[in-house]
Amino acid sequence: MASVAPLFQSLKVGSLTLKNRVVMSALTRSRSIQNATPNEVNVEYYRQRARGGTGLIVSEGVLITPQGTEWPYVPGISTDEHVQGWKKVTDAVHEEGGLIFCQLWHLGRVSHPDAPEQKKAGVPVYAPSAISARGGKFRFLEGAPGYQKPTEIDDPRKLIEQFRQAAIKAKAAGFDGVELHGANGYLIHQFLDTTSNKRTDQWGGSVENRARFGLETLKVLNEVWGSDRVGVKLSPSGGYNDMGMPLDETLETFRYFISEADKLNIAYFTLVRYLEMTDPVIDGNKRGTVHDVVASYRPYVKNAKFFANGGIFPDEAVKLVSEGTSDAIVFGFLYVAHPDLAKRIQFGKSLHPEATKLGSLYGAGGSIEDQVLGYTDYPEEKYD
């Protein structure tokens, strides 16, 4: 592998300076077993990854309001208890010299009305339009049902206000910024995509109208945080959670959205490349829209930093950064088994044989002791 030095140059991102260009992606790990509140095991997990030299940590997706996820024990950011739990996490990251953004997450139509957290919320499953996603299995519910038809939200501004309140709480919890989850078929993505958004009002139809929800959400995050502490994650190829438009429509939609979001002077974009492993087969065909995400959208980012994500290993990461194709690299699954991933890359340490095995990605419930397995029990190398 070529010299890894390009990955270990500092990088100005908004008003922050990252010590290197190794970014940890949001990874749903399902370990917040009490009231969706981060606990001592979560604190240790994030502390390890900050100690391991990560330039920027993006938290797992954090629910802005109780929702019926496919994965129990996903953390929230809607109560004072959540704030106090996350404050312990952010303190630990800062004690290790790290930076951490809170990824703000609303599932939209891929929540389930019978999931405990959705029942606790006392509201229907809201989405841009009353169109169910195909696929999905809620294995913790009897019969492992698939997605259900959601309720069309009457006024999307109600959901934007939930993002505002979550951003305020994330600030109180000590995060360094927020990332809007606009990828993987969740709420922001659902508004952008014509297969999930059939509205005929100002929130649907034209590219400008479908982009409005995400752009207005970014504006309220900017109001709370300042644009230099706000990022957004997008996955134009779709696939996951039954998303995807024809290529011409995909390019038009995401180029417009990225161009307009970039004018808001946000700190960064994370663009997820097409990954076959996350593209389901529906009705006998792969669901996603295969295209070169980096080449298709990189030229439309003029002001913000550009982060590439999706199936990237260290050798390719060096190439992308050294060529100027990406300002930093967002690693996801490699962080499951490597709390010290950044230092391993920097000092030429090998990756674990189980680096890409994902059996421990999601928690199994039970006690705190059970949550440690496959979560905080991976060894760290010694770096003298």
Tokens 């696929």 belong to residue: 135
Kindly name the residue from 73, 186, 268, 335 that is annotated as catalytic.
Answer: 186
Structural contact between residues 42 and 73, judged by C-beta atoms closer than 8 angstroms: no
| Dihedral sign for Cα atoms in the order 280, 308, 298, 12 | positive
Q: Token digits for 371?
A: 């949550």
* Conformational region of residue 185, where left means phi above 0, alpha means psi within -120 to 50, and beta covers everything else: left
CB atoms within 10 A of CB 149: 14
- In angstroms, the CA 61 to CA 196 distance is 21
List of residues 6+ apart from 379 with CB closer than 8 A: none
The b-or-e profile of 246-284 (16+ CB within 10 A means b, else e) is eeeebbebbbbbbebbbebebbbbbbbbbbeebbbeeee
* Residue 206 identity (one-letter amino acid): S
For the chain, list the strands marked E by DSSP. Answer: 11-13, 16-18, 22-24, 56-63, 100-105, 126-127, 151-152, 177-182, 230-234, 268-272, 281-282, 285-286, 305-309, 328-331
Collapsing DSSP to helix, strand or coil, 269 comes out as strand
Q: Cα angle vertex 107, ends 28, 180, to 5°? A: 75
- In angstroms, the CA 164 to CA 362 distance is 28
- In angstroms, the CA 233 to CA 254 distance is 12
User: Catalytic residue at 186?
Assistant: yes
Catalytic residue numbers read: 186
